[in-house]
Amino acid sequence: MNETLGGAPAPLFRRIALQGGYEALTMIRNGEQLILAIVLPLLALVGLTVTPLLDGLGGSRVDVAVPGILALCAMSTGFTGQGISTGFDRRYGVLRFLSTTPLGRTGLIAGKILAVLAVLALQVLVIGSVAAILGWQPNPAGLLPGLVLLVMGGAAFTALGLLVAGTVRPEATLAITNLLWILLGALGGIVIPAERLPGPAQHVVHFLPSGALGEALRDALLHGGVNTPAVLVLLLWAALAGAAATRWFKWN
């Protein structure tokens, strides 16, 4: 072989960007992930626009629906999507192998967060475009806070997804994250606001990451307001899940 030995790492930013891009492409190319990330949220959006489920909540159907659908996207990509792919990568030793390359463990986690943000950006673009066609008119004052909330929600759900993926078998991760996606999607105050949920659920959802993100996004995009309690709940979930994932995540 003509090569001399002795490697050097690519710059940190380049390594993280490469991993983020690679994982985002892998997620988008995966059929089931694409259904979860794009198709189901779009169906939910159309469904909520043509049915009277969200009538009488202080805005047009589409205006009330879109913030919840965007929150659902953050849950799809961060929790279910990243959870499942990380769970199987862990099973197949991919996490261990990549952590021996210059990417390392921190680079790998940073890449995963970047991938979630990239897919989330694509989801916002697709959902936003379809919503615009359906007549969505968000409150301009809420756009920037909404974007920040979405990133926070993505972080909280990714931390939760990694916590599940790093502690149980991938088959269990698959079951747990899909089941919770359905349960929280339907009853977690994410798409359907708390006041439209059955009695007992109303009191619980304020404390769930799904309910907090849904409420905070609706307050931002409908009224341009900041829902401080919901933001605090979301931050708490992100911090707790992040700390728990750091503490209990198993690499093999």
Partner 1 sequence: MQSPQSTVLSIDGLVKDVGPLPALDGKMLRVVGGLSLVAERGKVTALLGANGAGKTTTIECAQGLQKRTGGTISLLGQDPDAADAGLRSRVGVMLQDGGLPPSARPIPLLRHIAGMYRDPWALDELIQRLGIDTFSRTSVRRLSGGQKQRLALAAALVGRPEALFLDEPSAGLDPQSRNIVFELITELRSAGMGIILTTHLMDDAQRLADYVYIIDAGRNVAEGTVAQLLQRNVSPDPSQPHIRTLLFEARPGLDFTGVFPAGIDVRESRAGSYSVTGALSPEDLAALTAWWAARGIMPGSLSLEARSLEDVFLDISGRDIR
What spatial distance separates the first Cα and last Cα of the chain, rounded to whole Å?
Answer: 34
Quick check: 113 and 16 in contact, CB under 8 A? no
Nearest CB to partner 1, comparing residues 83 and 142: 83
In the complex, the smallest distance separating the C-beta of residue 42 from partner 1, rounded to whole angstroms, is 24
* Residues at the contact surface with partner 1, assessed by CB under 8 A: 1-12, 14-15, 18, 22, 26, 29-30, 88-89, 92-94, 96-104, 107, 251-252
In the complex, the smallest distance separating the C-beta of residue 169 from partner 1, rounded to whole angstroms, is 15
In the complex, the smallest distance separating the C-beta of residue 31 from partner 1, rounded to whole angstroms, is 11
Nearest CB to partner 1, comparing residues 28 and 204: 28
Nearest CB to partner 1, comparing residues 52 and 100: 100
195-to-53, 55, 199, 221, 223 alpha-carbon distances in Å: 12, 12, 9, 18, 17
In the complex, the smallest distance separating the C-beta of residue 25 from partner 1, rounded to whole angstroms, is 9
Nearest CB to partner 1, comparing residues 4 and 140: 4
Nearest CB to partner 1, comparing residues 203 and 250: 250
Burial class (CB in 10 A: 0-12, 13-18, 19+), 146: buried
HEC sequence for 107-158:
HHHHHHHHHHHHHHHHHHHHHHHHHHHCCCCCCHHHHHHHHHHHHHHHHHHH
In the complex, the smallest distance separating the C-beta of residue 26 from partner 1, rounded to whole angstroms, is 7
